[in-house]
Amino acid sequence: MTDPTPSLGDLRAAAAALAAVAPRTPLLDAPDLTERLGAPVALKLEQLHPIGAFKVRGAFTALARLPDAERIHGVVTHSSGNHGQAVAWAARHFGVAAVIVMPADASPVKVDGVRRHGGEVVLVEHRSERQPRAEQLARERGLTLVPPYEHVDVITGQGTCGLEILEQCPEVGTILVPVGGGGLIAGIASAVRRLKPAVRVIGVEPAGAPKLARALAAGHPVSLDSTASIADGLLPARIGTLPFEVMRPVVREAVTVDEDAIRAAVRYIFERLRLTVEPSGAVTTAALLGGRIPGATRGSGPIVAVVSGGNVESSLFERLVHASPS
């Protein structure tokens, strides 16, 4: 069987193309977390991308690699929010139409973001209806489907985040990654595998959506009966088949964080670092604050925690940052 892991050449080519439209995001030292853990900690600030989340990496790479004859007819995807914004943004860059199928309960700030970037929003009642509806629209309108994580070019684009981390912190020992469908952690694992396979790559997910933890325990993706969390970007009921295959040689650990820990992390990042992040982007910090990362000590090497996005409703954010600690 052919190894689906992106090659180092593919990752570097994607990074070079992306650099022209979305400059690399910084690593920010987190002295308070460093003091707590006894190991250097830095945050990878993916919320600073043009659409406020890492998803721009995969969406732009996927559209850039489409043949012109396909791309000109437009694209369609399904998304709870950030991938949809990224596809709409990338489609506008290439001057093509984008249709984004979203659940009716999607965050209004993310729905508005899709429209602001020129995307057409199609709402469905249940999250499970998103993919079938997107596939139907692709057939009916002659659009190309750009999935949120089950696509090698999307994974390759997300892998540019891993390249940056390894370049910005060559001595990194552990990378913590939020996990939704698995595209980001698969991409980062690809870069680690190609360049520094000894680095630990640990997935972090809400306790109400432990799809990676279940998959690692079973040895294959497992569908959860339901998912629930304030971290709305991390709610797929199943880890992606392709992402799981790509990440398996590197990723052996997944930890979960509860809702109180996620809320506390959003508040912590705002109060200590003056950054606005969404709950999905705060789960890695929640894991550090809650002591959920085994072996994170001074001798284990620096830790990089990926902050995956910052698209959060202002009213929700106000409630989170002004809530009394539990």
Q: Known catalytic residues?
A: 55, 80
The token pair at 87 is 């596809």
Q: Phi and psi (nearest 5°) for 51?
A: -105, 10
The token pair at 227 is 């998912």
| Residue 318 to residue 259: CA distance in whole angstroms | 16
Q: Which of 135, 70, 51 is nearest to 99 (CA)?
A: 135
Query: Cα(first)–Cα(last) distance of the chain, in Å?
Result: 50
Q: Which of 81, 119, 127 is nearest to 99 (CA)?
A: 119
Computed on alpha carbons and rounded to an integer, the radius of gyration of the chain in Å comes to 18
| DSSP character at residue 256 | E
CA distances to 10, 43, 163, 198, 295 from 302, rounded to whole Å, are 27, 11, 16, 13, 12
| Residue 162 to residue 178: CA distance in whole angstroms | 13
The token pair at 162 is 């891993």
